[in-house]
Amino acid sequence: MGAAAAASAMRVWGANDRVSLAIVGLGGRGSDHLRNYIRIGEARVAGLCDVNQAAREKAQATLLKGTSEKAKEFADMREAFADPSIDAVSIATPNHWHALAAIWAMKAGKDVYGEKPAAYNIYECQKLVQVARETKRMFQVGSQHRSNPMKMKAMEAVNGGLIGKVYQSKGLCYKRRKSIGHKPDSPTPAGVNWEMFLGPAPLRPFNELRFAYNWHWFWDTGNGDIGNQGVHELGLARWGMGDPEWPKTAYAHGGKFAYEDDQETPNTLSASFDFGGRELVFEVRGLLTGAEGAVPRGPRQGPMAAAPAPEATAPKGAAPLNIMVGNLYFGTEGWAAMSDAGFQAFKGESNELIMEERAQRGPDGDPTGLHMKNFLGAVKSRNSKDLHDEISIASLSASMCHLANISYRVGRRLTLAAGPKFVGDAEANKLLTRDYRKPYVV
């Protein structure tokens, strides 16, 4: 462990001490990081880093307005990591930078709060766990649902046998995504370090569609919506199964339907993972669609249909959860539905409502702020078991997304061996990692 890491590990934190941190990546999600750290007040934002000068200036103005304190600005994250006045970093870069940024930070002695997914590919996920253990750094992944009080209570009940043994856990990501269209390459905007933005990815001309939010939809830099919004629900699907490790097989199919544009990743994807005697399934749909969940059940149609029992409709007083983005859990004794709005569990043939929780409002129910507070608490306690989504958990949730994408890209079911590697499939094994552009090598 380096001198900086050793000094940080030996520091005795006072109850009112603020953690000095730098935010790396100041786009949409990074701006959310900044606003939350200002609001919760248990950290001091000491550094602002982005390859885009305009983003740094905007963040600095937000910080000054919120705290009257000015942070150091960095165009290169390595300068922030080398700064001895910074204790931790909050990483909100595009996916293809998540692992390398975190590895550099941990090796420089910094604790890390990193946006989801944990890493861009499966090799990087495993590398992050390794480096976190070697450096003894705290590493929380920004799956803030793991700090949501309502969801924590619901998952404790499900894992405790509320609906029996869960035989199928299902994640839904029906988040509307419109076409990104077509745009030609263009000169790099003033103040943007495009070479640094690309980092580990292949060098290519600047294109507006590959910058800002739309980098999610290109394989060089993103993982599609299963690795964007979907990784939250996939992590919750694993949680409802007790966070299992690797499945026996993985299979995904779908496509980019309806649109003719420059997007590379699928906007419709169905994936299934066999855990032996139970399964996890996941659906991504960015097009027009209906919802699923606790929808009141009506009578069957046709001459053989029987009149529905009174219990077959949603119980009195229980507004049904119609889920576009969320989770369903099916057990041997019942089933449950969960979204950001709440949680409902039903039991038996009568579909009896046995548990209902609704989302808390205000600071006490804000999952991002609570998740960041959980991270800051672990920075002080130096106990990684205090973290709600420590890297060893989050890396497996991210890896499930990557398994689905690999299966989709090679067009077949994958059988996993130890490692993980795929049995007899060199093409799929190649997609466990990537060809890194020097010097940005994980």
Tell me: the pLDDT tens digits for 88-131? 999 999 999 999 999 999 999 999 999 999 999 999 999 999 99
**Percent of the chain with pLDDT strictly greater than 90:** 86
Nearest-angstrom CA–CA distance, 222 and 432: 14
Is residue 268 within 8 Å of 285, Cβ to Cβ? yes
Decide which of 74 and 9 is more confident.
74
Is residue 81 within 8 Å of 105, Cβ to Cβ? yes
Ramachandran class of 424: left when φ > 0, alpha when ψ lies in -120 to 50, beta otherwise: left
Q: In sequence order, what DSSP letters do the residues of 84-111 get, joined into one string?
A: TT--EEEE---GGGHHHHHHHHHHTT-E
Report the range of poorest mean pLDDT among 161-170, 171-180, 296-305. Answer: 296-305
Residue holding tokens 């129910």? 365
SS3 annotation, 360-428: CCCHHHCHHHHHHHHHHHHHHHCCHHHCCCEHHHHHHHHHHHHHHHHHHHHCCCEEEECCCEECCCHHH
Tell me: the pLDDT tens digits for 292-317? 876 444 333 333 333 333 333 444 45
Pairing of strands 279-285, 268-274: antiparallel
Q: What sign has the CA pseudo-torsion 22, 28, 32, 38?
A: positive
- Produce one character per residue of 283-315: b if its CB has 16 or more CB atoms within 10 Å, e if not: bbbbeeeeebbbeeeeeeeeeeeeeeeeeeebb
Tokens of 67: 């705290």
Longest C-alpha distance within the chain, in Å? 78
- Produce one character per residue of 368-388: b if its CB has 16 or more CB atoms within 10 Å, e if not: bbbbbbbbbbbbbebebebbb
Nearest-angstrom CA–CA distance, 170 and 234: 8
Q: Degrees (nearest 5) of the Cα angle 307, 309, 313?
A: 110
Closest to 124 in 3D by CA, of 399, 397, 393: 399
pLDDT value for 8: 54
Helix 98-107 vs helix 122-135: angle between axes, to the nearest 10 degrees?
Answer: 10
Sheet holding 325-331, edge to edge: 352-358, 342-347, 334-339, 325-331, 166-173, 279-285, 268-274, 249-255, 414-417, 421-422
Cross-strand partners of 273: 250, 280
Is residue 384 within 8 Å of 138, Cβ to Cβ? yes
What is the three-class DSSP state of 129? helix
Does the pLDDT value for residue 275 go beyond 50? yes
Residue holding tokens 């990784």? 231
pLDDT value for 314: 44
Tokens of 373: 């507070």
Question: The whole model's pTM is what?
Answer: 0.92
Question: Does domain 3-145+364-391 correspond to CATH entry 3.40.50.720?
Answer: yes
CATH class of segment(s) 147-185+223-360: alpha beta
The single-letter DSSP state of residue 164 is B
pLDDT value for 295: 45
Tell me: the pLDDT tens digits for 216-261? 999 999 999 999 999 999 999 999 999 999 999 999 999 999 999 9
Does the pLDDT value for residue 1 go beyond 70? no
Task: Let me know how many helices (H) and strands (E) the chain has, helices first.
Answer: 12, 18
Amino acid at 148: N
Q: Does the fold of domain 147-185+223-360 match that of domain 3-145+364-391?
A: no
Does the pLDDT value for residue 21 go beyond 60? yes
Nearest-angstrom CA–CA distance, 142 and 140: 6
Is residue 286 within 8 Å of 307, Cβ to Cβ? no
Nearest-angstrom CA–CA distance, 318 and 294: 10
Sequence ranges of the domains in the chain? 3-145+364-391, 147-185+223-360
Q: From the centroid of its chain, how far is CA 60?
A: 26
CA dist list (Å): 254 to 116, 273, 284, 398, 429: 23, 15, 9, 19, 21
Nearest-angstrom CA–CA distance, 245 and 395: 10
Name the pLDDT band for 151 (thresholds 50, 70, 90). very high
